Amino acid sequence: MLATNAFPNRLGRSWRHLRTRWETVPVYDYVLATEPLTAEQLAALRWDPAVGVADAGNQFHYYRITPDRRILWGGYDVVYHFGRSIREDHLDRPQTFQRLADHFAATFPQLEGIRFTHRWAGVIDTSTQFCALFGQAHGGRTVYATGFTGLGVGASRFAADVMLDRLQGLDTARTRLEMVRKRPPPFPPEPFAWLGIMITTWARAREDATGRRNLWLRTLDRLGLGFDS
Ligand X SMILES: Cc1cc2nc3c(=O)[nH]c(=O)nc-3n(C[C@H](O)[C@H](O)[C@H](O)COP(=O)(O)OP(=O)(O)OC[C@H]3O[C@@H](n4cnc5c(N)ncnc54)[C@H](O)[C@@H]3O)c2cc1C
91 binds ligand X (CB under 6 A): no
152 binds ligand X (CB under 6 A): yes
* Distance from C-alpha of 30 to C-alpha of 97, rounded to nearest angstrom: 7
* Cis peptide bond prior to 191, omega within 30° of 0: yes
130 binds ligand X (CB under 6 A): no
Binding-site size for ligand X (CB under 6 A) equals: 19
148 binds ligand X (CB under 6 A): yes
Residue 219 CB, shortest distance to ligand X, in Å, is 27
Contacting residue, 41, 59, 156, 201, with ligand X by CB under 6 A: 156
> Would you say 82 or 120 has its CB closer to ligand X?
120
* Distance from C-alpha of 122 to C-alpha of 88, rounded to nearest angstrom: 10
66 binds ligand X (CB under 6 A): no
Decide: 128 and 134 in contact? Cβ < 8 Å.
no
| 205 Cβ contact list (under 8 Å, min separation 6) | 58, 59
43 binds ligand X (CB under 6 A): no
Report helix angle 192-210 to 215-223, nearest 10: 120
135 binds ligand X (CB under 6 A): no
Contacting residue, 50, 51, 106, 153, with ligand X by CB under 6 A: 153
> Would you say 104 or 148 has its CB closer to ligand X?
148
What is the footprint of ligand X within residues 99-128 (CB under 6 A)?
Answer: 121-122, 124
131 CB-side CA count, 13 A:
16
**What are the counts of helices (DSSP H) followed by strands (DSSP E) for the chain?**
8, 7
What is the binding site for ligand X (CB under 6 A)?
A: 3-5, 7, 9, 29, 31, 62, 74, 121-122, 124, 148, 150-154, 156
